[in-house]
Structure 1
């Protein structure tokens, strides 16, 4: 089985590769952007199976299919469920929401192995799609987070968190009272737990809460700088590839 991973978050790609190795699935190559993937597909034999993130650093991975005709089977790996119908139109056999669950991954691999692509169309079951298309108003997101402070556990309400950020391999929550708390999680894991109407990932290092934005300032290279009410320990810069989505999110 020839398998590749297309994922812009390199730690997430390495984790997925390790999980697949435990299932006796060897990954031949990992790609990290739309541009890199298009160039690779133009020059190489297409794989049997692609594990594909949707939001890459330079755009949506669907752009690859606009330029390259790909017949490989696809298992989508993403933190966003709003693209399920677009995925349904491609050679998709599953759609795994991040953080990827070991058992769900094993089921997806087994589903691929049970298919015979030469005689049977590979596609997501429509029941699977319906499960993903949950009304955002009905979906439950985390309202509280627990952190350890000495020998005690403290509860942080999501509304009081100005931002989540990564620093020195740790993930922190900065609160409206000016304190920073170390969390036992990663920004990648937070992607599926945070209310998207309230929190936005402006860069690889920061998630910010819309209600705690004090100012937005133009920055070099068509980027934006975010100033929060209390947090000011590091510059918060909206990466250039996320500026457009950030402006849409604000509206």
Structure 2
């Protein structure tokens, strides 16, 4: 299997390369920009599989496909973006949310291997995806969650939630009143239900509400520590791979 990685953040590209090697897969090439990718595709045989980030150092990766007709299968490796993820689900082999989880990577690779050659030759309509990104379709996000309190159900408005987090295989929400409630869902499902301008997934375990952030301080290994208004059960850390996107989200 011939694999290439297109990713502008070289540490992220190297990490993905190591993860693929642990699965017995060799990466032939790593590309880091739109211009470099176009030049490479013009002069090389196209690979079987591309791991593709959407935002590169010199533009959106869509520009590659506008310049070159590519029939390779694609697995997106992307930071959290609600509209992009909705589009990718319809058009690609799979997408992997950064920071990439080893189990999710294995599942995506297995999904690629199980597909027929005809299915692997995916044709992506990038114009339609770009329209979703620039002019996202109006949609309804969750306005409240129901939680079980004893034998009763309690409704909690989305504005009263500071964060969502996972702990001991459970998913919880934390309210502005300082209460924690167990949810019958996962953080992965919440990705499609939370308004992306209000909630951001800072790492594998946390979504935070922008209105609940009290302070932000530098943390080890180029990370950020978030101080929320009432939540203090554990450290709330922005993963190093998410810091750049987190700062953009704040603005």
- The answer, yes or no, to whether TM exceeds 0.5 is yes
User: Unpaired segments of 5 or more residues in structure 1?
Assistant: 7-31, 56-61, 100-107
Q: Contact 2:225 / 2:235 at 8 angstroms: preserved in 1?
A: yes
Matches within 5 A, 1:1-251: 33-36=15-18, 40-42=25-27, 72-74=72-74, 76=76, 80=81, 82-83=83-84, 94=92, 113=116, 115=118, 122-125=122-125, 129=129, 132-133=132-133, 135-136=135-136, 138-251=138-251
Residues 43 and 129 from structure 1, CA distance in 2 versus in 1: closer, same or farther, beyond 3 angstroms? closer
1:141 deviates by 1.5
Alpha-carbon separation, structure 2, partners of 1:180 and 1:157: 14
Instruction: Render the CA deviation track for 1:156-187: whole Å, top value 9, x for unaligned.
Output: 11111000011111000000011000000111
Instruction: Render the CA deviation track for 1:86-123: whole Å, top value 9, x for unaligned.
Output: 97xxxx95366899xxxxxxxx99xx648387xxx640
User: Unpaired segments of 5 or more residues in structure 2?
Assistant: 6-13, 30-45, 55-60, 65-69, 98-110
Tell me the number of residue pairs that the alignment of Structure 1 and Structure 2 aligns.
Answer: 194
CA RMSD of aligned residues (A): 4.4
TM-score (norm: length of structure 1): 0.60
1:199 deviates by 0.6
Q: Which moved more, 1:132-141 or 1:240-249?
A: 132-141
1:124 deviates by 2.5
Q: Contact 2:84 / 2:133 at 8 angstroms: preserved in 1?
A: no
1:233 deviates by 0.9
Greater helix proportion = 2
Q: Contact 2:201 / 2:207 at 8 angstroms: preserved in 1?
A: yes
